[in-house]
Structure 1
Amino acid sequence: MPSDVAVILTDSPSAAAIQRISDALDQFNTVATGIADRAPVAVLAVDLATDEVKGGVIGRTSLGMLFIDLFFLPDELRGSGLGSQMLHAIEEEGRRRGCRSAVLYTITFQAPAFYVRHGWTVFGEVPCDPEGTARVFLSKDLLAGHP
């Protein structure tokens, strides 16, 4: 290890540190692939009366893949079809951006069945806490059934 570099563990990296690492990895990927297509994407559920964000889907696209990182709707909006509409919207945006596939993970007590109902496939599970739960990893072929 170089003597002029320290390894520091932190639970609160600065926004600048996160951006530096993200940008450096993106640059590495661009050099390796010749493709510079990384971009954030979000679908938000916004209260029209207050402009308050009630929930949403946060993700990114890169190298032909849509990554769904976060998806939350409060209890009062679940079961209304809004979640399905939002999932469809982010999948469509992924297709529009040229993504062939999508990936996400959820937890067994969250919504794996919701994604399966929408054509997502479980490709792995990793046990986590609390005991008896697992992270569920899912993917979807965004081109299946689409021209």
Structure 2
Amino acid sequence: MDKINYVVTDTPSDEDIACVRSGIKEHNTPFLKGLFHQDLACFAKDETGAVVGGLVSEIWGSWLEIKFLWVSAKTKGQGVGSEILKRAEEQAKSLGCHSSLLDTFNFQAKPFYEKHGYKVKMTLYDHPVSTERYYMVKELG
């Protein structure tokens, strides 16, 4: 390799992103080969079938990794979020998960997750700007 050109861009091509993902996947495979991985979601729908809350996550090995949990403004305070979280955790546990991981901001749902047994393991201050981001875990038992 004679010359390397470095490109910093805010519009990376799909091909370049795919190349990096492929490279890291190739590197990780010997260490994580055969590791159980699947998506897991839970939705709450009203009588018309409209989604009024939902959780999007993935199971990776023996961990439930919650990406998003949202409840509509009209259903907040009615136990919808708690029920969604409980059902997702139960399903993850039935699939062999021993723990759950998520992150939330100080303006989101930290007290909600604490009420459900999650503990802060790391806090990023001033992230992204003048807010706190919490990484939380829970043993599923």
TM-score range, shorter chain: 0.7 to 0.9
Deviations 1:117-141 (A, max 9, x none): 111111111122442x200110011
Percent of matched pairs sharing the same residue: 26
Q: Is this contact kept in 1: 2:53–2:80, CA < 8 A?
A: no
> What residue number does 1:81 align with?
79
TM-score by length of 1: 0.77
Aligned-partner Cα distance in 2 for 1:78–1:134: 23
Structure whose alpha-carbon radius of gyration is higher: 2
Deviations 1:88-130 (A, max 9, x none): 0111111111111111000001110100111111111112244
> What residue number does 1:100 align with?
98
Q: Is this contact kept in 2: 1:35–1:63, CA < 8 A?
A: no
Partner amino acid, structure 1, of 2:139: D
**How far is the alpha carbon of 1:13 from its aligned partner?**
6.2
Q: Is this contact kept in 2: 1:60–1:66, CA < 8 A?
A: yes
Q: Which runs of 4+ in 1 moved over 2 A?
A: 1-14, 23-31, 33-36, 51-55
RMSD value, Cα: 3.0
Q: Is this contact kept in 2: 1:26–1:38, CA < 8 A?
A: no
Partner amino acid, structure 2, of 1:44: F
Aligned-partner Cα distance in 2 for 1:60–1:135: 20
1:1-147 aligned at under 5 Å gives the runs: 7=7, 9-10=9-10, 14=14, 21=21, 29-49=28-48, 51-127=49-125, 128-131=127-130, 133-143=131-141
Q: Is this contact kept in 2: 1:30–1:36, CA < 8 A?
A: no
TM-score by length of 2: 0.80
